[in-house]
Chain A
Amino acid sequence: MRVPISWLREYVPFDLPLAELAERLSIASAEVEGIERRGVPDVDGNLGLFRVGRVLEAGKHPNADRLQLCQVDVGEGTPRQIVCGAWNFGPGATVAVALPGAVLPNGVKLAPTKLRGEESNGMILAEDEVELGADHSGIMVLADGVEPGTPLADVLPLVEDIVVVESTGNRPDLLSIYGLAREVSALCDVDLAPPPGRDPACTNEDRVDVRVDDFAGCPRYIGRLFRDVRLAASPPWLRTRLSDAGMRPISNVVDITNYVMLALGNPLHAFDLDTLAGGRIVVRRASSGERMRTLDGVDRELTPDDLMIADAERSVAIAGIMGGEATEIAEGTTNVLLEAANFEPYGIFRTSERLRLRTEGSNRWEKGVDPHLAPRAAALATELIAELAGARWTGDVDVHDDLPAQPVVRFRPRRADELIGVSTPPAQQRALLSRLGFDVDDERVTVPTWRSRDVTREVDIVEEIARFRLPDVPFTLPVRREMFGQLSADQRLRRRVEDVLVGLGFSEVYTPSLVETDGDAAALRLEEPISVELALLRTELLPSLIEAARRNLELGNSRIALFEIARVYQPSGGQLPVERVHVAAVTEGGYARAKGILDALGASLHGELAVAAVPNRLFHPSRAARGGAGIVGELHPTLLGDGPWGALELDLELLLESVHEPVVYQDVSTYPAVRQDLAFVVDADLPAGELFAAARDAGAPELREIRFLSDYRDPPIPPGKKSLAFSVAFQTDDRTLTDEDARTLRRRVIDALARRFGAELRG
């Protein structure tokens, strides 16, 4: 909300410097996002060069058809000759004049000049030239009765500070200047002016026909009739206030409804009475399939969920959200029906959601507006319509159900101290609460109607005290009696995996968990994604990492090795997917590199990560493997250029299962190991892992280590066969092995492999 300070001061005459006020508001009430100054530079007497003037003569410029030549009294005795391009005034008009030497908001300094041969000693101002608004269709015509020569700043806010306030959803009362003034009154301990607006006399010549069918959606509807309305542009002060507050001036009646909304927080609507069938208002739900064209020219389809304002025949407004085009105030309007109603938040929220239509009105209603505000808003609007549009107020009705009672809340000042952690004397607590409109007696607080949704419990009163004490609350730490902090096993594992991979040269990358395509056709899909690229919840990390590697290739980066640890979301068939934490890595280098990374991870975790060949769509058809915790392999050569590439993706929880911790210490044997190299000719498709496992079994317990040496398939090895070479180490803990022992052990291994695989020992 944009708050012009001169408007705020009208309700609360505070002295605090603006910057300090802004800080106090930010801390206790609503965040101040900025302070803007607009208007005429207030330096070196510049403001004094802007005066009220009276046009004495005005006529066509002798040498230019589009210019007027004027004699203007600016209180100097002799009038000034000024050339002006606007024609919306004539002799006798009261206007705003800038004298030569004046600096305009855009930085231009005026000087006496000659236009088409005629002297011009000043400038008659349009509102945009002094930043009082956006209009440049003519100059500002001021109300009569101000003496020529009067400083313009006395009549118009030539300089304005605007505080931009962002209030929170629980405080619809702060979506109004008066509501903010109430906060300022409590913050600065300054009295708040009574709320603006007093009803003039009503002639009561008209009956206002209002029927509310749905009090749940519309607890209150005040309807007021006005006749002989003179629709025109609003006076400069009103236009300026609206434009400073960020709204576009339209016409006096419409501007007044907006002005009242900004001043008090109750949105209003005005109908052209003569366009309402039967001159009647019915508040009801839309009928199924009903359509209506709103003010913005959009034809909208409605549902029975939507609350409508209707006349005798059709809907004329979507309640609280937007009026209809057919009944809007427009040129020729002379009779007006003013709506000062109250609407319940949830219905407005739902309709505004469904229609994707958010307005100044809906924004306030859906936060919950005080139903007791409607009469005040009606009074201020009525006063202004009578004054600015010369209208007669001819009819009035206030239709309402039982209005909610004011909450009465238990309150113990001691409780506030206990929760806040700093003591506030009860008298000070009471004083603060009364400034905010709360009625306080011994142990009970009556909540003002404009806060009755937000403050319903004792703790809410505590917050009212707390927000004014925030800077005084000390910094302490809880006095702990129980509990201690420790990472869980899986959290420690995650850190280990991260550290090991970083040590092995991998850089960690974060990629979006939402993807365009996924290997699992059942991957969960968002109802309304923001883009096709972020539409599915991924069930695997590798495609994202492959993409990340590709990006690095394109960028010309070298030594590419990336990993990520993140959740994947596997469809479960139930409401929620199964979420697992995965680690995935992609690196330059082929299968052996990927397997080496897996083995290094296994070694550092003291786990066993055996794998077997299992094809996977992302991998080279013969270089993909799966183990207990996940997959490892060489990426399919078509995926990334400049290959080969290795990759793995593991489930951290499954990885944790293969970790045996703490490690059980084994005494280091003091007797030397006997090492021997062995090579066997076996079928080419026998996995080395199986051969090694069998050898390990046969040589146990003396066989302590097997180290792979080579896989050889060229002649003289016959086709369909391969030679697998490895070295073994035999060792015992109780003696030195003799040559005879070693021969026996070696024989045991050779025989077992021959029996099981037909393996032939190579000479």
Chain B
Amino acid sequence: MKPEDSEAATVAAVDAAALQDEALAALGCAATPAEVGELRTRYLGRKSDLKQALRNVRDRDTGMTLNAVRERLEAAFAEREAELERAALDVALATDGFDVTLPGDELAVGTLHPVTQVRRIVEDAFLGLGYEVRDDREVETVEYNFDKLGFAPTHSSRSPRDTFFLDHDTVLRTETSPSQIHHLESRTPPVYMVSIGRVYRRDAITPTRFPIFHQFEGLAVDRGLTLADLKGTLLHVMRALFGPQRRVRFRTHFFPFTEPSMEPDVSCPICDGAGCRTCKHSGWIELGGSGMVDPVVFQNVGLDAEEWSGFAFGCGLERSAQLRHGISEIRPLWSPDLRVLRQF
């Protein structure tokens, strides 16, 4: 090895370290891709010190050192360039004057009817309690709609003034209660069932009444069921429908197929019991009927009332939907108007 050669190599090695530091420092100060381009020419261009040194390299070690510096610098330049380009792009994107509050594309999305929504809440509440869901026929025999449920021959519901008859023995069901008989005839207890569907009463059409409406009706038959179980079950369902703060009270009533019979009231969801127009200032809303299964029903389906006890209850879906949504009349629930339907 010639002395000048080894001297040159030493100089180059020393230069390389300094060169790298200098280049990286300069790169750190570059603010635009153009500046990075200029620095690239200065430190990595054909006429740059580094390239020249590389061209003059004579020994392996120096070559490796210089090449490592070159690679490191090239990577640093590429990275810095990408960084600055991304920043420039971000600036350009951020300043294009876009208004995010403009409406989005108008995608069509429909709505479930509020009565269907109530139906699902009720179904889910009862599924959670382990009930089956039934959907039974709406055209019923007098036998299933009245006789087997213990309706007295003089019960006013049997009048063609109150009930729609198709012929002497056939009616549009006046409540979902025939499901109790159908269910008990097809199963052996214990049974826990809720029936949901359309029912019919021969009422004149008024702002608050329509002759067609929907009900849900639950039936539980097991050993040792009590009126307290009925109260607890209804409380659960009323809270599912009207919120966890609801209270429920029971008033004595009369139904042919339950004994004792009661009407449940729920504390008014509008005023929370303080009294308002919706609850007629009583703080309570009437919500259907309930009671312990009458022995006559057990007898009609061949069950022993000493062994089995049960409870049943029914409630209107429209009424529930009205209360949930603050609808004072029945009309909106039968309206085809999309301005009504799209609110739900």
Contacts and interface: CB of A to CB of B under 8 A. Distances in A.
A477 B235 CA distance: 10
Interface in A450-500: 457, 459-460, 462-463, 466-467, 470-471, 473-488, 491, 495, 498
Contacts, number: 251
Contacts of A368: 154
B29 interface: no
B75 interface: no
Contacts of A577: 139
Nearest to B115: A510
Interface stretch (B13-21, B58-66, B81-89, B219-227): B219-227
Contacts of A477: 129, 229, 232-233, 236
A510 B333 contact: yes
A419 B160 contact: no
A563 B309 CA distance: 42
Contacts of B220: 478
A602 B19 CA distance: 71
B307 interface: no
Contacts of B156: 169
B295 interface: yes
Given A478-B220, A559-B108, A420 B227 contact: yes
A549 B341 CA distance: 13
Interface string A21-43: 00000111101000000000000
A685 interface: no
A697 interface: no
Given A27-B249, A483-B192, A507-B342, A421 B166 contact: no
A417 B107 CA distance: 60
B261 interface: yes
A604 interface: no
A552 B141 CA distance: 38
A88 interface: no
Nearest to B310: A478
Interface string A562-585: 110011010000011101010000
Interface in B74-131: 107-113, 115-116, 120, 123, 126-131
Nearest to A499: B112
Nearest to A528: B160
B133 A487 contact: yes
Interface string A523-543: 011111111001001000000
Contact of A421 (B161, B165, B226): B226
A168 interface: yes
User: Most chain-A Cβ atoms within 10 A of its Cβ — which of B120, B169, B232?
Assistant: B232
B211 A534 contact: yes
A658 to B, nearest CB: 20
Given A478-B225, A508-B341, A557-B339, A471 B116 contact: no
User: Most chain-B Cβ atoms within 10 A of its Cβ — which of A507, A514, A537?
Assistant: A507
A421 B339 contact: no
A171 B252 CA distance: 12
A474 B227 CA distance: 9
A462 B133 CA distance: 31
A170 interface: yes
Given A476-B232, A566-B198, A579-B137, A502 B167 contact: no
A502 B154 contact: no
User: Most chain-B Cβ atoms within 10 A of its Cβ — which of A475, A481, A498, A560?
Assistant: A475
Nearest to B130: A485
Given A459-B294, A478-B233, A485-B192, A547 B336 contact: yes
Contacts of A467: 252, 260
A183 B221 CA distance: 32
A403 interface: no
A356 B161 contact: yes
B252 A27 contact: yes
Contact-size category for A = 35 or more
B12 interface: no
Interface string B196-240: 011000111100001110000000101011111101110110000
B336 A421 contact: no
B153 interface: yes
Interface string A599-618: 00000000000000000000
B164 interface: yes
Contact of A419 (B135, B292, B334): B292
A35 B156 CA distance: 27
Interface in B124-173: 126-133, 135, 137-141, 153-156, 159-161, 164-167, 169-170, 172
A366 B155 CA distance: 9
Contacts of A476: 226, 228-229, 231-232
A262 interface: no
B258 to A, nearest CB: 9
Nearest to A474: B228
A637 to B, nearest CB: 21
A460 B252 CA distance: 13
B154 A349 contact: yes
A528 B336 contact: no
Given A170-B254, A502-B110, A506-B110, A419 B226 contact: yes
A474 B333 CA distance: 36
A503 interface: yes
Interface of A: 26-29, 31, 168-171, 345-346, 349, 353, 356, 366-368, 418-422, 457, 459-460, 462-463, 466-467, 470-471, 473-488, 491, 495, 498, 501-514, 524-531, 534, 537, 547-549, 551-552, 555, 557, 559-563, 566-567, 569, 575-577, 579, 581
Given A171-B254, A471-B249, 17 more contacts: A27-B252, A31-B263, A349-B154, A419-B226, A420-B227, A460-B259, A475-B232, A478-B192, A483-B132, A511-B336, A514-B212, A524-B166, A526-B164, A528-B165, A534-B211, A551-B336, A577-B139
11 contacts: A421-B229, A457-B259, A470-B250, A475-B231, A476-B229, A478-B222, A484-B130, A485-B133, A506-B110, A530-B202, A562-B338
**CB-CB nearest 4 A-B residue pairs:** A505-B108, A421-B228, A421-B226, A548-B336
